[in-house]
């Protein structure tokens, strides 16, 4: 990571209060997953904070959210416009979950509720042939476990997109848009305690149709190869 410029973490909303109390929120999860990587600047556009200009940070990670891209909130649309600008400028960007969907939307794709419903828990994704020589993915197993919690998905790809991985539920788990811009539908920053709390919280707040909470919790262990993608991205800056 750059020794002079900070990593930018764009936080796209707060988690529900029960999750924040139990396991913290997005910056905590990313910092734990990354370890000591130098300065990290957190910007919260949903609180009206301005997104910084290209050249003032080494690269950007766009976090997940409990909002929906299709709500077209002002702060989300403003972030989408900013994403187009920094991606065009060649700034390294990694989108995660909501950030994944927002990047695809910003570049011309379509995001909406997945027709088969939500995808929650520890779930395997499979890399395709195009992923074999990707700098963030090369050397990873062809299939590895990830932590997922989402209702919306990238349904139609932008014209610049190359799909690199899929799950049985979602064919667009990893997307590359340019040599410096990539996004993942899963959460490389989640730990097992975070995933467990999110499963429990979701089951208490909304019905998880066709999903057994106890079975989901029992399946949670660790996702080191997923986390490695985040770590490789930051190490490349």
- Identify whether 97 is a catalytic site residue: yes
Separation of alpha carbons 80 and 7, rounded Å:
19
Residue 120: domain span: 7-235
Residue 226, domain CATH: 3.40.50.880
Percentage of the chain exceeding pLDDT 70: 95
Name the active-site residue from 77, 169, 189, 204: 189
Describe the crossing of helices 74-88 and 98-106 by its angle, rounded to 10 degrees.
70
Residue 30 domain-assigned? yes
- Identify whether 189 is a catalytic site residue: yes
In this predicted model, which residue has the larger pLDDT, 188 or 206?
188
Name the active-site residue from 97, 100, 150, 169: 97
**pLDDT tens digit string along 112-156?**
999 999 999 999 999 999 999 999 999 999 999 999 999 999 999
Residue 169 domain-assigned? yes
Name the active-site residue from 138, 150, 187, 204: 187
Query: How many CB atoms are located within 10 Å of the residue 221 CB?
Result: 10
pLDDT of residue 91: 99
- Identify whether 73 is a catalytic site residue: no
Separation of alpha carbons 65 and 150, rounded Å:
9
Residue 60 domain-assigned? yes
Tally of domains within the chain: 1
Question: Is 120 exposed, middle or buried (CB count within 10 Å of its CB: 0-12, 13-18, 19+)?
Answer: buried
pLDDT at residue 208 tops 80: no
Residue 2 domain-assigned? no
Cross-strand pairs, 8: 41, 60
Residue 1 domain-assigned? no
Q: What is the mean pLDDT of residues 184-202?
A: 96
Q: What is the mean pLDDT of residues 31-45?
A: 97
Encoding tokens for residue 34?
A: 């990354």
Confidence of residue 206 (pLDDT cuts 50, 70, 90): low
Residue 98 domain-assigned? yes
pLDDT of residue 212: 84
């Amino acid at each position: 990571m750059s020794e002079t410029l900070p990593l930018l973490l764009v936080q796209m909303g707060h988690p529900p209060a029960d999750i924040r109390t139990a396991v913290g929120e997005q910056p905590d999860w990313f910092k734990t997953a990354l370890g000591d990587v130098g300065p990290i600047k957190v910007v919260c556009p949903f609180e009206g904070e301005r997104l910084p200009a290209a050249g003032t940070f080494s690269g950007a990670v766009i976090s997940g959210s409990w909002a929906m891209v299709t709500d077209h909130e002002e702060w989300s649309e403003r972030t989408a416009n900013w994403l187009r600008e920094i991606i065009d400028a060649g700034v390294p960007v990694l989108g995660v979950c909501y950030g994944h969907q927002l990047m695809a939307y910003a570049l011309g794709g379509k995001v909406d509720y997945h027709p088969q419903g939500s995808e929650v828990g520890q779930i395997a994704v499979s890399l395709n042939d195009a992923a074999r020589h990707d700098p963030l993915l090369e050397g990873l197993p062809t299939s590895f476990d990830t932590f997922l919690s989402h209702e919306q998905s990238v349904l139609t790809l932008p014209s610049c997109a190359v799909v690199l991985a899929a799950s049985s539920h979602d064919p667009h788990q990893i997307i590359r848009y340019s040599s410096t811009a990539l996004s993942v539908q899963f959460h490389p920053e989640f730990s097992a305690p975070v995933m467990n709390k999110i499963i429990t919280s979701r089951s208490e707040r909304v019905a998880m149709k066709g999903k057994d909470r106890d079975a989901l919790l029992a399946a949670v262990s660790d996702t080191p190869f997923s986390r490695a993608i985040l770590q490789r991205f930051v190490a490349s800056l």
